[in-house]
Structure 1
Amino acid sequence: MKDEPNLIVRYTEVERANHWITAIAFVLLALSGLSMFHPAMFWLAAVLGGGQWVRILHPFVGVVMFASFLVLVMRFWHHNYLDSSDVQWLKQYRDVLANREEKLPAPGRYNAGQKLIFFTLVVCLVLLFASGIVIWRRYFSFYFPIEVIRLASVVHALVAFVLIIAIIVHAYAGFWVKGSLGAMTRGTVTWGWARKHHPRWFRESIK
């Protein structure tokens, strides 16, 4: 799967577009959600056109993000199965933090940390979508008793917090590992990057 002699295609144009649609939707949801969460953060609503627009657009953007992320899940699910080497990778977290990659089990397309983030996002998005439907006043909330709506509101807020933390970790890793961001902008990585960070995937890609 080679693009140029020293480059390997990591993400296609469609996959990158899918990723950035999800990312942009997340930013809009985080800003609008935080603006509604506490009066001290209501000023964020001004970025999106004011409180009324925030309340209208937030759930619709949520549906867009869920649908876009669902496509990503279907595309990359089979690359994120945890195996015995992933368990060992996690046990060697000190080597991970110290950037001693030569001591770690050779990862495939994704390492164990990336896989954990993936499944964290899957769980969070499912819970956010389900709880969001329950508290969507204009269309669905009248179908549910107030106790369920209150519970869904708490779940929505807590899971949103977990999702924001997970995305921050995901974004930080993209900047921390030099060359990772380019994979999602240009779509390709160098042979050296692939051999260093994902040796098993590299060997499979150049066959």
Structure 2
Amino acid sequence: MTERRTPERIPRYTANERTNHWLTAISFVLAALSGLALYHPATNWLVALFGGGPWTRILHPFIGTFMFIVFALLAMRMWGHNRIEARDREWMKHTGDVINNREENLPEVGRYNAGQKLLFFALIASMVGLLLTGIVMWRPWLAAFFPVTAIRWASLLHAFFATLLICMIIVHVYAAFWVKGAMEAMLRGSVTRGWARKHHRAWLREVDGEGRQGGK
């Protein structure tokens, strides 16, 4: 009987998941740039990227709506992997070890760690906040249905959620480069077994368990 060889790389993201992620990322960049162009006179020069002020005002809400839709599809795909578990609560007690990269002191992690899961839910909250406030502000289509006071509050909250989202995405991108191999996973769709063992040991065991069951 031939011994089955364990593959050196294991799949982490499907082609659909990666496409969904990069569509969200591209639409976020466009929404952020067009939003910043309208945010303050100091950033008004960014309207040139979208064909001028009127076009920027027209395109921004449509880009934002597209971003919300593709993100919602991504969130539905990832929801089951981001439920907070007992090991996540334990992981959160070791923030010092996380910051100092002492992963040997951390509890075993599933497909995502507690930090990634908290970011996931914070992104959902910000996206929903941006959508709801954006609907109230959307001229000329929807703003006419709301009082001026509601539009003013929506503008303030929209800027707040946008700032929060931009900060979270910066953290997300930084973490992707900080954890060597994480960016490669979203580009190639697979990771090495060593990477999975170091960062997501419990997830690796789940993958191996599924592989053994599938091979029966």
Which of 84, 87, 107 matches 2:86? 84
Please give the alpha-carbon distance, in whole angstroms, between the structure 2 residues aligned to 1:48 and 1:190. Answer: 41
Q: What code does the residue aligned with 1:153 have? A: S
**How does 1:1-207 map onto structure 2 within 5 Å?**
5-207=7-209
Please give the alpha-carbon distance, in whole angstroms, between the structure 1 residues aligned to 2:55 and 2:93. Answer: 47
Larger Rg: 2
Give the secondary structure class of the aligned counterpart of 1:189: strand
Q: Residue in 1 aligned with 2:214?
A: none
- Unmatched segments (≥5 aa) in structure 2: 1-5, 210-216
Q: CA shift at 1:121, angstroms? A: 0.3
Structure with the bigger RCO (C-alpha within 8 Å, sep 6+) is 1
* Worse-matched range after superposition: 114-123 or 50-59: 50-59
Give the secondary structure class of the aligned counterpart of 2:118: helix
Q: CA shift at 1:149, angstroms? A: 0.6
Aligned length: 204
Q: What code does the residue aligned with 1:121 have? A: L
Deviations 1:115-164 (A, max 9, x none): 01100000000010000000001210000011111111111000100000
Which stretches of structure 1, 4 residues or longer, exceed 6 Å deviation after superposition? none
Cα RMSD, aligned residues only:
0.9
TM-score, length-normalised on structure 2?
0.93
Identity %: 56
- Unmatched segments (≥5 aa) in structure 1: none
Please give the alpha-carbon distance, in whole angstroms, between the structure 1 residues aligned to 2:98 and 2:72. Answer: 29
Give the secondary structure class of the aligned counterpart of 1:206: helix
Give the secondary structure class of the aligned counterpart of 2:107: coil
Q: CA shift at 1:11, angstroms? A: 0.4
